[in-house]
Structure 1
Amino acid sequence: MRDKKTSYIRLLHASPKAPAVDVYANGDNILADDLSYGEFTPYLPVMPGTYTIDIYPADNSDTPILTKELVLPEKTIATIAAIGELPELELFIVEDPKEPLQPNTSKIRFVHLSPDAPAVDVIEPNGSILFKDVSYKDITDYLSITPDTYTVEIAPTGTDNSVLFVPNIRLLPDAFYSLYAIGLVEGDPYLQLLIPLDGNSYIET
Protein backbone atom coordinates (compact mmCIF):
# COMPACT_ATOMS: atom_id res chain seq x y z
CA MET A 1 0.00 0.00 0.00
CA ARG A 2 1.37 3.38 -1.04
CA ASP A 3 1.85 6.25 1.37
CA LYS A 4 -0.93 8.83 0.96
CA LYS A 5 1.70 11.46 0.08
CA THR A 6 3.25 9.42 -2.72
CA SER A 7 3.95 11.19 -6.00
CA TYR A 8 4.45 9.64 -9.44
CA ILE A 9 6.94 10.74 -12.06
CA ARG A 10 8.02 9.52 -15.45
CA LEU A 11 11.07 10.69 -17.36
CA LEU A 12 11.20 11.80 -21.00
CA HIS A 13 14.36 12.16 -23.08
CA ALA A 14 13.55 15.11 -25.37
CA SER A 15 17.02 16.56 -25.97
CA PRO A 16 17.85 16.40 -29.69
CA LYS A 17 21.27 14.92 -30.51
CA ALA A 18 21.94 13.97 -26.88
CA PRO A 19 23.01 10.36 -26.34
CA ALA A 20 21.02 7.76 -24.44
CA VAL A 21 21.25 8.56 -20.73
CA ASP A 22 21.22 7.11 -17.24
CA VAL A 23 19.38 9.18 -14.64
CA TYR A 24 20.11 9.02 -10.91
CA ALA A 25 18.47 10.62 -7.88
CA ASN A 26 20.45 11.55 -4.75
CA GLY A 27 23.61 9.82 -5.85
CA ASP A 28 22.92 6.15 -6.42
CA ASN A 29 19.16 5.69 -6.88
CA ILE A 30 18.71 4.96 -10.57
CA LEU A 31 15.54 6.32 -12.17
CA ALA A 32 16.30 5.47 -15.80
CA ASP A 33 18.81 3.17 -17.47
CA ASP A 34 19.84 3.71 -21.11
CA LEU A 35 16.93 6.05 -21.84
CA SER A 36 17.07 6.97 -25.53
CA TYR A 37 15.88 10.12 -27.27
CA GLY A 38 12.10 10.14 -27.63
CA GLU A 39 11.52 7.52 -24.91
CA PHE A 40 9.50 7.71 -21.70
CA THR A 41 9.97 5.66 -18.57
CA PRO A 42 6.91 4.20 -16.83
CA TYR A 43 5.56 6.29 -13.97
CA LEU A 44 7.59 5.67 -10.84
CA PRO A 45 6.24 6.09 -7.29
CA VAL A 46 8.44 8.43 -5.25
CA MET A 47 8.13 10.21 -1.95
CA PRO A 48 7.81 14.01 -2.05
CA GLY A 49 10.89 16.00 -1.19
CA THR A 50 14.04 17.54 -2.63
CA TYR A 51 16.11 15.45 -5.02
CA THR A 52 19.45 15.96 -6.71
CA ILE A 53 19.11 14.62 -10.24
CA ASP A 54 22.24 13.59 -12.15
CA ILE A 55 22.10 12.73 -15.85
CA TYR A 56 24.99 10.79 -17.38
CA PRO A 57 25.63 9.41 -20.84
CA ALA A 58 24.49 5.79 -20.72
CA ASP A 59 27.08 3.46 -19.18
CA ASN A 60 29.41 6.36 -18.32
CA SER A 61 29.09 7.62 -14.75
CA ASP A 62 32.30 9.67 -14.73
CA THR A 63 30.90 13.17 -15.32
CA PRO A 64 27.21 14.12 -15.43
CA ILE A 65 25.97 16.18 -18.36
CA LEU A 66 23.42 17.76 -16.01
CA THR A 67 23.03 18.06 -12.25
CA LYS A 68 19.83 19.69 -11.04
CA GLU A 69 17.98 20.00 -7.75
CA LEU A 70 14.31 19.12 -8.03
CA VAL A 71 11.59 19.82 -5.48
CA LEU A 72 8.68 17.42 -5.76
CA PRO A 73 5.46 18.26 -3.88
CA GLU A 74 3.34 15.49 -2.40
CA LYS A 75 0.62 13.75 -4.44
CA THR A 76 2.02 15.05 -7.73
CA ILE A 77 1.79 13.28 -11.08
CA ALA A 78 4.33 14.65 -13.53
CA THR A 79 6.57 14.09 -16.51
CA ILE A 80 10.14 15.31 -16.05
CA ALA A 81 11.67 16.00 -19.45
CA ALA A 82 15.31 16.51 -20.35
CA ILE A 83 15.12 19.25 -22.98
CA GLY A 84 17.32 21.67 -24.89
CA GLU A 85 20.48 21.00 -26.85
CA LEU A 86 23.80 20.11 -25.30
CA PRO A 87 25.49 21.73 -23.49
CA GLU A 88 22.35 23.69 -22.47
CA LEU A 89 20.47 20.65 -21.20
CA GLU A 90 17.75 21.35 -18.61
CA LEU A 91 14.95 19.62 -16.75
CA PHE A 92 11.40 20.68 -17.53
CA ILE A 93 8.44 19.58 -15.41
CA VAL A 94 5.05 18.88 -16.99
CA GLU A 95 2.50 18.23 -14.27
CA ASP A 96 -0.53 16.04 -14.97
CA PRO A 97 -3.20 17.87 -12.98
CA LYS A 98 -6.24 16.12 -11.61
CA GLU A 99 -9.33 17.72 -13.12
CA PRO A 100 -12.89 16.70 -14.03
CA LEU A 101 -13.43 14.58 -17.12
CA GLN A 102 -16.92 14.14 -18.51
CA PRO A 103 -17.88 10.53 -19.30
CA ASN A 104 -17.09 9.40 -22.85
CA THR A 105 -14.85 12.36 -23.58
CA SER A 106 -11.09 12.76 -23.91
CA LYS A 107 -8.84 15.66 -22.99
CA ILE A 108 -5.74 16.70 -24.91
CA ARG A 109 -3.12 19.41 -24.50
CA PHE A 110 -0.01 20.50 -26.39
CA VAL A 111 3.51 20.73 -24.95
CA HIS A 112 6.08 22.59 -27.10
CA LEU A 113 9.54 21.13 -26.50
CA SER A 114 11.23 21.82 -29.86
CA PRO A 115 14.11 24.20 -29.09
CA ASP A 116 14.43 25.74 -32.55
CA ALA A 117 10.74 25.90 -33.50
CA PRO A 118 8.86 29.20 -33.43
CA ALA A 119 5.48 29.65 -31.79
CA VAL A 120 3.09 27.27 -33.52
CA ASP A 121 -0.56 26.47 -34.08
CA VAL A 122 -1.97 22.94 -33.95
CA ILE A 123 -4.55 22.65 -36.71
CA GLU A 124 -7.06 20.09 -37.96
CA PRO A 125 -7.32 19.49 -41.74
CA ASN A 126 -10.59 21.46 -41.87
CA GLY A 127 -8.73 24.53 -40.62
CA SER A 128 -9.98 24.35 -37.04
CA ILE A 129 -7.26 25.48 -34.64
CA LEU A 130 -6.95 23.27 -31.58
CA PHE A 131 -4.09 25.21 -29.97
CA LYS A 132 -2.86 28.63 -31.03
CA ASP A 133 0.40 30.54 -30.62
CA VAL A 134 2.19 28.00 -28.43
CA SER A 135 5.84 28.90 -27.80
CA TYR A 136 8.80 26.77 -26.72
CA LYS A 137 8.30 25.43 -23.18
CA ASP A 138 4.61 26.41 -23.18
CA ILE A 139 2.05 23.89 -21.88
CA THR A 140 -1.54 24.49 -22.95
CA ASP A 141 -4.59 23.75 -20.84
CA TYR A 142 -6.42 20.53 -21.55
CA LEU A 143 -9.09 20.68 -24.25
CA SER A 144 -12.16 18.43 -24.07
CA ILE A 145 -12.65 16.51 -27.31
CA THR A 146 -14.80 13.70 -28.66
CA PRO A 147 -12.96 10.35 -28.65
CA ASP A 148 -12.11 9.54 -32.27
CA THR A 149 -9.21 9.27 -34.71
CA TYR A 150 -7.69 12.63 -35.61
CA THR A 151 -5.18 14.18 -37.97
CA VAL A 152 -3.32 17.35 -37.02
CA GLU A 153 -0.78 19.66 -38.59
CA ILE A 154 1.69 21.94 -36.85
CA ALA A 155 2.47 25.27 -38.48
CA PRO A 156 4.20 28.49 -37.42
CA THR A 157 1.55 30.70 -35.85
CA GLY A 158 -0.56 32.59 -38.35
CA THR A 159 0.64 30.63 -41.38
CA ASP A 160 -0.43 27.54 -43.31
CA ASN A 161 3.17 26.41 -43.79
CA SER A 162 2.90 23.01 -42.12
CA VAL A 163 6.12 21.72 -40.57
CA LEU A 164 4.59 18.46 -39.32
CA PHE A 165 1.65 16.31 -40.43
CA VAL A 166 0.43 13.66 -37.97
CA PRO A 167 -2.39 11.29 -39.05
CA ASN A 168 -4.23 8.54 -37.18
CA ILE A 169 -4.14 9.92 -33.65
CA ARG A 170 -6.53 7.63 -31.80
CA LEU A 171 -8.02 9.11 -28.65
CA LEU A 172 -9.84 6.76 -26.30
CA PRO A 173 -12.68 7.86 -24.01
CA ASP A 174 -12.12 8.78 -20.36
CA ALA A 175 -8.45 9.57 -20.87
CA PHE A 176 -5.99 12.46 -20.80
CA TYR A 177 -3.30 12.87 -23.48
CA SER A 178 -0.40 15.26 -24.04
CA LEU A 179 0.92 16.02 -27.52
CA TYR A 180 4.66 16.54 -27.03
CA ALA A 181 6.43 18.25 -29.94
CA ILE A 182 10.12 17.30 -29.83
CA GLY A 183 13.00 17.48 -32.28
CA LEU A 184 14.18 20.20 -34.63
CA VAL A 185 12.58 22.16 -37.45
CA GLU A 186 16.03 22.69 -38.96
CA GLY A 187 18.22 19.63 -38.65
CA ASP A 188 18.18 16.09 -37.38
CA PRO A 189 16.32 14.61 -35.51
CA TYR A 190 13.38 16.24 -37.24
CA LEU A 191 10.25 17.45 -35.50
CA GLN A 192 7.90 14.73 -34.27
CA LEU A 193 4.88 14.37 -32.01
CA LEU A 194 4.78 11.99 -29.02
CA ILE A 195 1.27 11.21 -27.76
CA PRO A 196 1.40 9.28 -24.48
CA LEU A 197 -1.47 8.54 -22.15
CA ASP A 198 -1.06 10.83 -19.15
CA GLY A 199 -0.88 9.44 -15.63
CA ASN A 200 -3.90 11.40 -14.44
CA SER A 201 -5.96 9.02 -16.59
CA TYR A 202 -5.37 6.10 -14.22
CA ILE A 203 -3.18 7.01 -11.21
CA GLU A 204 -4.93 7.82 -7.94
CA THR A 205 -3.16 10.16 -5.50
Structure 2
Amino acid sequence: MSSYIRVFHAVPDAPAVDVYANNCLIVNNISYKHISQYLYLPSGPTNIKIYPAGSMGIPVLDVNIVVPPMEILTVAAVGTLSTIGLLVIEEPKFCNPYHQSNIRFAHLSPNAPSVDITLRDGTVIFGNVSFKDVTDYLRVAPGIYELQVRIAGTNQVVLNLPPVALNPKTFYTIYAVGLVGEMPPLQALLSVDRIC
Protein backbone atom coordinates (compact mmCIF):
# COMPACT_ATOMS: atom_id res chain seq x y z
CA MET A 1 0.00 0.00 0.00
CA SER A 2 1.10 3.55 -0.67
CA SER A 3 0.78 6.93 0.96
CA TYR A 4 0.62 10.44 -0.42
CA ILE A 5 3.58 12.61 0.53
CA ARG A 6 4.80 16.06 -0.37
CA VAL A 7 8.21 17.58 0.35
CA PHE A 8 8.70 20.96 2.03
CA HIS A 9 12.08 22.73 1.89
CA ALA A 10 12.24 24.74 5.12
CA VAL A 11 16.02 25.01 5.62
CA PRO A 12 16.79 28.73 5.34
CA ASP A 13 20.51 28.48 4.51
CA ALA A 14 20.31 25.51 2.13
CA PRO A 15 20.39 25.74 -1.68
CA ALA A 16 17.80 24.18 -3.95
CA VAL A 17 17.89 20.42 -3.55
CA ASP A 18 16.98 17.10 -5.15
CA VAL A 19 15.23 14.51 -2.99
CA TYR A 20 15.61 10.76 -3.47
CA ALA A 21 13.57 7.94 -1.91
CA ASN A 22 15.34 4.56 -1.99
CA ASN A 23 17.71 6.06 -4.58
CA CYS A 24 14.88 7.14 -6.91
CA LEU A 25 14.49 10.84 -7.64
CA ILE A 26 11.11 12.00 -6.34
CA VAL A 27 11.49 15.81 -6.21
CA ASN A 28 14.04 17.80 -8.14
CA ASN A 29 15.36 21.33 -7.76
CA ILE A 30 13.06 22.36 -4.91
CA SER A 31 14.11 25.62 -3.30
CA TYR A 32 13.65 27.12 0.14
CA LYS A 33 10.02 27.87 1.11
CA HIS A 34 8.58 25.66 -1.63
CA ILE A 35 6.30 22.66 -1.15
CA SER A 36 6.08 19.96 -3.81
CA GLN A 37 2.93 18.43 -5.18
CA TYR A 38 1.67 15.27 -3.50
CA LEU A 39 3.12 12.05 -4.88
CA TYR A 40 2.68 8.33 -4.23
CA LEU A 41 5.32 6.62 -2.13
CA PRO A 42 5.15 2.93 -1.18
CA SER A 43 4.74 2.31 2.52
CA GLY A 44 7.51 0.70 4.56
CA PRO A 45 11.15 1.46 5.38
CA THR A 46 12.37 4.27 3.14
CA ASN A 47 15.80 5.82 2.73
CA ILE A 48 15.68 9.54 2.04
CA LYS A 49 18.70 11.32 0.58
CA ILE A 50 18.88 15.04 -0.13
CA TYR A 51 21.53 16.46 -2.46
CA PRO A 52 22.25 19.96 -3.73
CA ALA A 53 20.23 20.27 -6.94
CA GLY A 54 21.93 18.63 -9.91
CA SER A 55 24.53 16.86 -7.79
CA MET A 56 24.89 13.31 -6.49
CA GLY A 57 28.11 13.74 -4.55
CA ILE A 58 27.82 13.78 -0.77
CA PRO A 59 24.20 14.12 0.39
CA VAL A 60 23.36 16.88 2.84
CA LEU A 61 20.98 14.41 4.48
CA ASP A 62 20.84 10.61 4.46
CA VAL A 63 18.18 9.26 6.80
CA ASN A 64 15.85 6.29 7.10
CA ILE A 65 12.17 6.71 7.84
CA VAL A 66 9.15 4.42 7.85
CA VAL A 67 6.30 5.49 5.58
CA PRO A 68 3.05 4.26 7.14
CA PRO A 69 0.39 2.86 4.83
CA MET A 70 -2.54 4.92 3.57
CA GLU A 71 -1.47 8.24 5.08
CA ILE A 72 -1.12 11.79 3.77
CA LEU A 73 2.15 13.33 4.87
CA THR A 74 4.29 16.42 4.52
CA VAL A 75 7.98 15.57 4.87
CA ALA A 76 9.76 18.79 5.82
CA ALA A 77 13.50 19.36 5.67
CA VAL A 78 14.13 21.49 8.76
CA GLY A 79 16.93 23.08 10.75
CA THR A 80 20.01 24.65 9.19
CA LEU A 81 22.37 23.13 6.66
CA SER A 82 24.67 21.96 9.48
CA THR A 83 21.80 20.49 11.54
CA ILE A 84 19.40 19.42 8.80
CA GLY A 85 16.78 16.81 9.62
CA LEU A 86 13.39 15.56 8.50
CA LEU A 87 10.10 16.26 10.20
CA VAL A 88 7.20 14.04 9.13
CA ILE A 89 3.87 15.86 9.53
CA GLU A 90 0.56 14.05 9.20
CA GLU A 91 -2.14 15.67 7.10
CA PRO A 92 -5.90 15.19 7.55
CA LYS A 93 -7.35 12.11 5.86
CA PHE A 94 -10.96 12.81 6.69
CA CYS A 95 -13.30 15.78 6.55
CA ASN A 96 -15.49 16.86 9.41
CA PRO A 97 -19.20 17.59 9.02
CA TYR A 98 -18.91 21.21 10.10
CA HIS A 99 -19.03 24.25 7.81
CA GLN A 100 -15.96 25.72 9.48
CA SER A 101 -12.25 26.26 8.89
CA ASN A 102 -9.46 24.24 10.46
CA ILE A 103 -6.08 25.77 11.19
CA ARG A 104 -2.88 24.74 12.94
CA PHE A 105 0.63 26.14 13.43
CA ALA A 106 4.04 24.57 12.76
CA HIS A 107 7.21 26.15 14.20
CA LEU A 108 10.03 25.54 11.71
CA SER A 109 12.31 28.52 12.47
CA PRO A 110 15.54 26.98 13.81
CA ASN A 111 16.72 29.96 15.87
CA ALA A 112 13.37 31.29 17.10
CA PRO A 113 12.33 30.77 20.72
CA SER A 114 9.03 29.24 21.76
CA VAL A 115 6.17 31.41 20.55
CA ASP A 116 2.49 32.14 20.98
CA ILE A 117 0.20 32.72 18.01
CA THR A 118 -2.29 35.41 18.93
CA LEU A 119 -4.94 37.69 17.57
CA ARG A 120 -4.06 41.39 17.36
CA ASP A 121 -5.74 41.95 20.74
CA GLY A 122 -3.41 39.43 22.37
CA THR A 123 -5.84 36.50 22.54
CA VAL A 124 -3.70 33.36 22.39
CA ILE A 125 -4.71 30.91 19.66
CA PHE A 126 -1.74 28.53 20.01
CA GLY A 127 0.47 28.81 23.06
CA ASN A 128 4.11 27.99 23.79
CA VAL A 129 4.97 26.34 20.46
CA SER A 130 8.63 25.30 20.18
CA PHE A 131 10.84 24.53 17.19
CA LYS A 132 9.58 21.45 15.31
CA ASP A 133 6.28 21.47 17.20
CA VAL A 134 3.09 21.13 15.15
CA THR A 135 -0.16 21.97 16.93
CA ASP A 136 -3.45 20.18 16.56
CA TYR A 137 -5.99 21.70 14.20
CA LEU A 138 -8.30 24.30 15.71
CA ARG A 139 -11.79 24.66 14.28
CA VAL A 140 -12.71 28.33 13.71
CA ALA A 141 -15.37 30.31 11.91
CA PRO A 142 -14.47 31.14 8.29
CA GLY A 143 -13.32 34.71 7.78
CA ILE A 144 -10.30 36.98 7.71
CA TYR A 145 -7.90 36.78 10.64
CA GLU A 146 -5.04 39.09 11.61
CA LEU A 147 -2.53 37.07 13.60
CA GLN A 148 0.72 37.78 15.37
CA VAL A 149 3.67 35.70 16.49
CA ARG A 150 4.84 36.64 20.00
CA ILE A 151 7.59 35.31 22.21
CA ALA A 152 5.82 32.79 24.42
CA GLY A 153 4.27 34.28 27.53
CA THR A 154 5.06 37.89 26.57
CA ASN A 155 3.58 40.77 24.61
CA GLN A 156 6.70 41.00 22.40
CA VAL A 157 5.60 40.68 18.78
CA VAL A 158 8.23 39.12 16.50
CA LEU A 159 6.06 38.85 13.40
CA ASN A 160 2.83 40.38 12.14
CA LEU A 161 1.12 38.07 9.67
CA PRO A 162 -0.69 39.54 6.70
CA PRO A 163 -4.46 39.08 6.91
CA VAL A 164 -5.32 35.41 6.45
CA ALA A 165 -8.58 34.48 4.69
CA LEU A 166 -9.86 31.11 5.91
CA ASN A 167 -12.46 29.36 3.81
CA PRO A 168 -15.06 26.93 5.12
CA LYS A 169 -14.38 23.19 5.06
CA THR A 170 -10.67 23.75 4.49
CA PHE A 171 -7.64 22.66 6.53
CA TYR A 172 -4.65 25.02 6.75
CA THR A 173 -1.20 25.04 8.32
CA ILE A 174 0.68 28.24 9.10
CA TYR A 175 4.40 27.48 8.91
CA ALA A 176 6.90 29.81 10.60
CA VAL A 177 10.17 29.63 8.64
CA GLY A 178 13.36 31.66 8.33
CA LEU A 179 15.61 33.18 10.96
CA VAL A 180 15.14 35.72 13.72
CA GLY A 181 17.52 38.66 13.24
CA GLU A 182 19.24 37.05 10.26
CA MET A 183 18.64 36.40 6.59
CA PRO A 184 16.40 35.05 5.26
CA PRO A 185 14.06 36.67 7.77
CA LEU A 186 11.36 35.07 9.85
CA GLN A 187 8.11 34.81 7.94
CA ALA A 188 4.90 32.81 7.83
CA LEU A 189 3.67 30.61 4.98
CA LEU A 190 0.07 29.45 4.68
CA SER A 191 -0.45 25.96 3.30
CA VAL A 192 -3.75 24.47 2.20
CA ASP A 193 -3.71 20.90 3.49
CA ARG A 194 -7.16 19.68 2.47
CA ILE A 195 -10.35 21.07 0.91
CA CYS A 196 -13.46 19.12 1.79
User: How far is the alpha carbon of 1:97 from its aligned partner?
Assistant: 3.5
Partner of 2:70: 75
Which 5+ residue runs of structure 2 have no aligned equivalent?
none
Q: Does the CA contact (< 8 Å) of 2:118 and 2:126 recur in 1?
A: yes
Correspondence 1:163-174 to 2 at 5 A: 163-174=158-169
1:146 aligns to 2:141 (yes or no): yes
Correspondence 1:1-205 to 2 at 5 A: 5-27=1-23, 29-98=24-93, 101-199=96-194, 201=195
User: How far is the alpha carbon of 1:50 from its aligned partner?
Assistant: 1.2
User: How far is the alpha carbon of 1:167 from its aligned partner?
Assistant: 1.9
2: CA distance, partners of 1:32 / 1:159? 40
1: CA distance, partners of 2:14 / 2:27? 15
1: CA distance, partners of 2:161 / 2:97? 26
Identify if the C-alpha distance between structure 1 residues 124 and 102 changes in structure 2 by more than 3 Å, giving closer, same or farther: farther
Q: Does the CA contact (< 8 Å) of 1:48 and 1:74 recur in 2?
A: yes
* Aligned-residue identity in percent: 42
**Following superposition, which runs of at least 4 residues in structure 1 exceed 2 angstroms of deviation?**
97-103
Deviation digits for residues 32-72 of structure 1 (CA, Å, limit 9, x no counterpart): 11100000001112221111111000111111111011100
2: CA distance, partners of 1:24 / 1:149? 39
Q: Does the CA contact (< 8 Å) of 2:71 and 2:93 recur in 1?
A: no
Q: How many residues align?
A: 196
2: CA distance, partners of 1:6 / 1:171? 30
Deviation digits for residues 93-128 of structure 1 (CA, Å, limit 9, x no counterpart): 111143552432011011111111111000111221
Q: Does the CA contact (< 8 Å) of 2:18 and 2:51 recur in 1?
A: yes
Secondary structure of 2:81's counterpart equals coil
Q: What TM-score results when the alignment is normalised by the length of structure 1?
A: 0.91
1: CA distance, partners of 2:63 / 2:128? 30
Which 5+ residue runs of structure 1 have no aligned equivalent?
none
1: CA distance, partners of 2:180 / 2:26? 30
